[in-house]
Amino acid sequence: MNTETKSKVLVVGAGPVGQMATLLLACHGIPSLLIDRRQTTLTAPKAHAVNARTLEICESVGVNASHLRELGAAANEGGEVRFVSTLTGTEFGCLPYERQDDAALNATPFPLSNIPQPVFEEELIAKIKQEPLIDFRRGLECRTLQQTIECVEATLVELETDESESCSFDYVIAADGAGSRIRQSLDIEMEGPEVLSSYLMIHFSADLRQLTEGRRGVLYFLFEPEVNGALIAYNHAKTWVLMHPWNPEEEKREDYDDETCLRLIEKAVGQALPQTTIENVSPWNMSAQVAQQYRQGRIFLAGDAAHRIPPAGGLGLNSGIGDVQNLAWKLAAVIRGEAGESLLESYEVERQPVAKNNNEQSLNNAAKIFDLIIALHGLEPEKTAERFAAVSANPEAYPELAEAIEAQRPHFDSFDLQIGYRYSSSAICEPAAIPEITDVSNYQPSWDAGAHFPHRWIEVADQAVPLQNWFAPNQFTLLEGPGVQQLEGCLGAAQVQFGKDFSDALSWRELTGLADDGAVLIRPDGHIGARLDSLTKERAEAALNQILARGA
């Protein structure tokens, strides 16, 4: 094995989060080694909802977000969640699945798209392979990590030959998934329920387009008393998952052979299916947990290693991508000697509350699903079938059913959680108070310190161009008001002047709430690091020094 490496950062785990971590580090000029013990990309579809912020981040590292969206399901295929008895049985109601409609274009250039996780990962890997700063090795497992003051020594084992080698890195990102051995080896505890419910994920191939004609959707919640669970439609023509509730204490995985799984699928669909292939069956526990620490010394947890988020709101993968976007520029600035080491403390301070909020909302929503089950099945177990038959025959006669479905709306419209999260830490100058989340669907664009700059469409030669195109993803941007006098050689931050480099239908003051001689300092991750009145070079420098913990 030749693991000799010039990499500064070891990224353990080439799931979507590890992959994106290396692309972001490369974007900041930092070489990394990405390893995964698996020889191939995962085939189980898992995530499907790739949200607007993730797509924006993809675009910023050179993975074409419009192309990614083309690979996803069209909004009229994956735009609904349906509450049904079986896939072909009675429909009790349906809700839009997150913001995929054109109105979302007011808030982002790339609305959420349903892209199967393996397809998403293949696109990132294609980009990784073109990137000279990323050394990507499969079949390599990280066995131990030892920290010194200066570095982390990693023992890496090539699984095919069992050869091991020790290599040293400045930092390690543990993106090694929900069962993170690195997290366990650091004795970092998880907080929150470990098992909310247990499922078998039955991944199967079947063309169900004819059966879903006229009622396409991405999620079908199944309420037939003997069925339960949910069907996830990754691609109506071929890729499906049945989430089948099971009890691992009383049942064995071996009890679920292909024949049994096929019978379960047919019950869920509501009819026999001649051409169906079972691709994979794997047990999975739904959890809502967040790591107590995101960092120990030079090792950082990211993605599922740091948080396990129930999947229905589509926030697992997306939160992980947000983690590494937050971490990469900070590591790069410290490695390059441009920032104080204490900048790295802000990673946990900024990202842990985001995961906690996401889990809290998921738990609230999960609790509301019981109202729906009660509306359909009643409260007396021995009368479930009777009640279900009565409600199915005449759903309109049970107003509590429509109410319970309506109460699920925030579960599937968490726009504010997806793109509205804000930060408050030492890496933001005078952060605005983070408003309590009262309505997860209600995203309010804001130019407050700590918020992500709001998306705008800017007219350039009759073309609408997203504002993000003016901000470099690998450096700070000083966005100056139209009255700012030229600041010479300002600190290495890119300078963009409103009215000179671009104009908007809104005035500068209407847009940002600042006077014409004010400015906004935008961090490489798009969050507003400082709002500056009466900009001077000294003020801008002081703000950057604070954010980058220089002299701290």
Task: State in angstroms the smallest separation of the CB of 18 from ligand FAD.
Answer: 5
Q: Are 233 and 78 within 8 A, CB to CB?
A: yes
Q: Cβ–Cβ contacts within 10 Å for residue 419, how many?
A: 24
What is the Cα–Cα distance from 141 to 155, expressed in whole angstroms?
8
Q: Are 241 and 219 within 8 A, CB to CB?
A: no
Task: State in angstroms the smallest separation of the CB of 208 from ligand FAD.
Answer: 18
Strands 219-222 and 80-84: parallel
What is the Cα–Cα distance from 435 to 531, expressed in whole angstroms?
18
Q: Which is nearer to ligand FAD, 155 or 545 (CB)?
A: 155
18 makes contact with ligand FAD (CB under 6 A): yes
Q: Which of residues 291-310 bind ligand FAD (CB under 6 A)?
A: 303-304
17 makes contact with ligand FAD (CB under 6 A): yes
Burial class of residue 482 in the structure, from the number of CB atoms within 10 Å of its CB (0-12 exposed, 13-18 middle, 19+ buried):
middle
123 makes contact with ligand FAD (CB under 6 A): no
Concatenating the DSSP letter of every residue in 153-183 gives EEEEEETTTTEEEEEEESEEEE---TT-HHH
Residue from 16, 31, 116, 481 that binds ligand FAD (CB under 6 A)?
16
CB contact burial 486-500 (16+ within 10 A = b; e otherwise): ebeebbebbbbbbee
58 makes contact with ligand FAD (CB under 6 A): no
Q: Which is nearer to ligand FAD, 352 or 546 (CB)?
A: 352
Site string for ligand FAD, 128-167 (x = CB under 6 A): -------------xx-------------------------
181 makes contact with ligand FAD (CB under 6 A): yes
Task: State in angstroms the smallest separation of the CB of 182 from ligand FAD.
Answer: 7
Q: Which is nearer to ligand FAD, 317 or 376 (CB)?
A: 317
175 makes contact with ligand FAD (CB under 6 A): yes
Q: Cβ–Cβ contacts within 10 Å for residue 233, how many?
A: 25
Q: In the 8-state DSSP scheme, what is residue 330?
A: H
320 makes contact with ligand FAD (CB under 6 A): yes
Which one, of 228, 259, 260, lies nearest residue 244 by Cα?
A: 228
Site string for ligand FAD, 386-415 (x = CB under 6 A): ------------------------------
Give the distance from CA 217 to its chain's centroid.
21
Which one, of 281, 275, 216, 207, lies nearest residue 242 by Cα?
A: 281
Count, residues near ligand FAD per rule CB under 6 A: 33
Which residues, 6 or more positions from 394, have their beta carbon under 8 angstroms from its beta carbon? none
316 makes contact with ligand FAD (CB under 6 A): yes
Residue where the block lists tokens 């996803």: 72
36 makes contact with ligand FAD (CB under 6 A): yes
Residue from 32, 318, 325, 361 that binds ligand FAD (CB under 6 A)?
318
| Site stretch for ligand FAD (CB under 6 A), options 6-14, 24-32, 95-103, 386-394 | 6-14
183 makes contact with ligand FAD (CB under 6 A): no
Q: Binding residues for ligand FAD, per CB under 6 A?
A: 12-18, 35-38, 46-49, 117, 141-142, 175-177, 181, 201, 284, 303-304, 311, 314-318, 320
